Each structure stands twice: as structure tokens, then as C-alpha cells.
Amino acid sequence: MGKLTIGTFSSLVGSLSLDFSVKLAEAAVKKGHKVDFWMSGNATMLAKKGQKAFKDYSFLAKPIQELIATGNFQICACEACAEARGYHKEDCPDGFIRKSMDWYLASTFDADRVLHIGGD
């Protein structure tokens, strides 16, 4: 099995690319791979506690917690991007990491595959 690093900049709810990357991560973990999931820009909105689920609305908080529970999935928000948007350490959901982009870079260096998904 291998390691997939996914970096995404897409908005929560506003862009389906973030949903795609979470579903791809789910499929990869299910196949026995490890996944590192990096969020920059508007994707850091996913690293915000207290998101609410609405019918027919994208709600990624739950699948993310299930992925974290597998132990084969790490999720990290860009600290600068989050702070720039007013999200502080205490706003971060359980199991999320907050680092500078060095974390993403290091993750890509020992990944078997890297998928970078740009802005919205």
C-alpha cells in the first residue's frame, strides 16, 4: 500500500472539489493507503469547529472525523491561512493539526502520489 498526499485550496460548501478530495481520501484509506490531507486558503474553513449539517448540503465534518479515527489519515490546516480568516487554535476541531506549509512540503516528499487541487 502507499501514501497519497492531497493538498486542496477549494472552499467548504462553495466548491465541490473539496467534497471530491474527501471522498477520494475515503476511497484511498478504504483501499489500505495512508492519506495526508493539507488545507490552504478557503479550504481551511473545513478546520472550523461547530459546522452544522443541513439536508442536501455538503457536510464534510463527519466523514473527516471518521477518517481521523482510522489512524491512516492526517489532516492539517495552514495556520497562516486559518488565522487570516479569524480561525484560531481553539476553533480547530478535534484531531486536526495546524502547521505552516512546511508540513505539506514534507508530506509530499515521502508520498507515493501527490494531488494538488487549486483554488475554487
Partner 1 sequence: MKLAVLMSDYRNGIDMIDRLSAESLGIILVGNGVYHAAVKEGGKTSSLLDKKANFYALTEDFETRGITAANLDSRVKAVNYGDVVDIIFNDYEKVVWI
Write out the DSSP string of the chain: --EEEEEE-PPTTT-HHHHHHHHHHHHHHHTT-EEEEEE-GGGGGGG-TT----TTS---HHHHHHHHHHTSEEEEEEHHHHHHTT--GGGSPTT-EEE-THHHHHHHHT-SEEEEE---
Choices 69-77, 85-93, 97-105, 108-116 (CB under 8 A): range interacting with partner 1: 108-116
Instruction: Please say which residue, 23 or 49, places its beta carbon nearer to partner 1.
Output: 23
Instruction: Please say which residue, 16 or 53, places its beta carbon nearer to partner 1.
Output: 16
- Binding site residues, partner 1, CB under 8 A: 2, 4, 16-17, 20, 23-24, 26-28, 30-31, 33, 112-118
